[in-house]
Amino acid sequence: MNFYLTYVLVATALFAFTALFTLFALYSERKISAFMQDRLGPMEVGKYGSLQAFADILKMLQKEFIIPSAADKILFTLAPIVIFVSVYLGFAALPWAPGLSPSSLNLGLFYIFAILSMETIGILMAGWGSNNKYALLGSMRSVAQMVSYEIPAGIALISAVMISQTFNMQEVSIKQGILSDETILFLGIWDVSSIGGLLAWNIFQAPHLIIAYLIYFIASLAECNRAPFDIPEAESELVAGFHIEYSGLRFAFVFLAEYSMMFLVGMIGVILFLGGWNTLLPNIGSVQLAVWTTGIGWGIFWVLIKTLLVVAVQIWIRWTLPRLRVDQLMSFCWKVLTPLAFLCMLISGIWRLTMM
């Protein structure tokens, strides 16, 4: 019985986290974009508009469920659920701190990637079910984009997995810090097993992973349909893309999925490349900074800080770069990112065999 209770509690906590994060990200995105454009952003609801996101959600909750008469009712109703659940399930395998992971799957990364791909189906369902040309165009673009960008993203992740030799996200994290059993070599030469900190992160264990991380980061932007890869929802051409016909709570779920996806892809990158819950600070002689800042509380803190920084960069990029054209998007993916990702994978193999 307790067994199931824990499951329910963990699931509820994760859901609460995604919802809270979405509200927070919504507000911070509006504020950041406003400041970048010399505006003030929301200012009226609460101090400095801090309750604006709650007001927005309250408004959405009150709204009517509108199903267009020409829509495919089953697909239309199911789509937001499929979209959200596929992202939400991805959180199951992410470790938050040493010994703290909702589910320590052996095939964690594999599972996350598989379950994230399901979102594509949800988007296609939404686009097709809406029976709206904009929605359909948006979802077709989205599917083409997400399926294409999963290849460089996946291969970039694989090159990190080759260094870590495991799909288990918790073990990947352990192998990037002072809790590791194996020796960790900074740039393949200097033993930093007991120093830890920044120096033990995957991108510093094998420096070509910096490129792999860049590839993954760019591809992850495309996967969560963020600018400059937001052609599926291109406001100026497709109005809102696949979620144009949605209203009220259903729209809120699509939104929730989008922002949770931002956090999820950010966190996957953080875990595989930037040390996960491992501390930033190395041990320096008798000043055991890494030892002092490792633990459950610290783990959650570090992983949150790192991921929020990545999300902030995503937002920063969104409000800076213009949208790519469809053909540019595809040629960039297939002609630049994919070969580079393969190159990274090759170097990873060589690195693993020769340097580690």
Partner 1 sequence: MKGKLFNVFNTIGKGLKLTLGHFFAATESRTIKPITDDNYFAQKSGTTTIQYPHQKLPLPEVGRYQLDVEMDDCIVCDLCAKICPVDCIEIESIKSTEAIGKTSDGTTKRLYAAKFDIDMAKCMYCGLCTVVCPTECIIMTDTYDRSTLTLNEMVYKFSDMTAAEAEDKRIALEIQTAERLAAKQAALQPDRNTE
Count of Cβ atoms closer than 10 Å to residue 129 Cβ: 24
10: contact with partner 1 by CB under 8 A: no
330: contact with partner 1 by CB under 8 A: no
- Please report the DSSP string for 130-199 in residue order: HT-HHHHHHHHHHHHHHHHHHHHHHHHHHHHHHHHT---HHHHHHTTSTT-SS--EETTTEE-TTT-GGG
35: contact with partner 1 by CB under 8 A: yes
Backbone angles phi, psi at 269, to 5 degrees: -60, -45
Asked if 262 contacts 311 with a C-beta cutoff of 8 angstroms, the reply is yes
Pick the binder of partner 1 from 10, 19, 43, 55 (CB under 8 A). Answer: 43
Pick the binder of partner 1 from 19, 32, 105, 118 (CB under 8 A). Answer: 32
Region from 1-9, 37-45, 85-93, 340-348 binding partner 1, contact rule CB under 8 A: 37-45
Helices (H), the chain: 2-36, 52-62, 73-90, 108-130, 133-164, 169-174, 202-205, 208-223, 235-238, 248-273, 289-292, 296-318, 326-331, 338-354
321: contact with partner 1 by CB under 8 A: yes
Q: Using the 8-state DSSP alphabet, how is residue 230 labeled?
A: -
User: 191 has which bridge partners?
Assistant: 185
328: contact with partner 1 by CB under 8 A: no
Nearer to partner 1, 136 or 262 (CB): 262
Nearer to partner 1, 10 or 330 (CB): 330
Q: How far apart are CA 156 and CA 28, in angstroms?
A: 29
Task: State yes or no: cis peptide before 95, omega within 30 of 0.
Answer: no
Nearer to partner 1, 39 or 63 (CB): 39
Query: Closest approach of Cβ 35 to partner 1, in Å?
Result: 4
320: contact with partner 1 by CB under 8 A: yes
Q: How would you classify residue 50: left for phi > 0, otherwise alpha for psi between -120 and 50, otherwise beta? A: alpha
Query: Closest approach of Cβ 218 to partner 1, in Å?
Result: 11
Nearer to partner 1, 34 or 304 (CB): 34
Pick the binder of partner 1 from 13, 20, 40, 296 (CB under 8 A). Answer: 40
319: contact with partner 1 by CB under 8 A: yes
Pick the binder of partner 1 from 85, 107, 317, 330 (CB under 8 A). Answer: 317
48: contact with partner 1 by CB under 8 A: no
327: contact with partner 1 by CB under 8 A: no
Nearer to partner 1, 207 or 228 (CB): 228
187: contact with partner 1 by CB under 8 A: no
Residue ranges in contact with partner 1 by CB under 8 A: 32, 34-40, 43, 316-317, 319-321
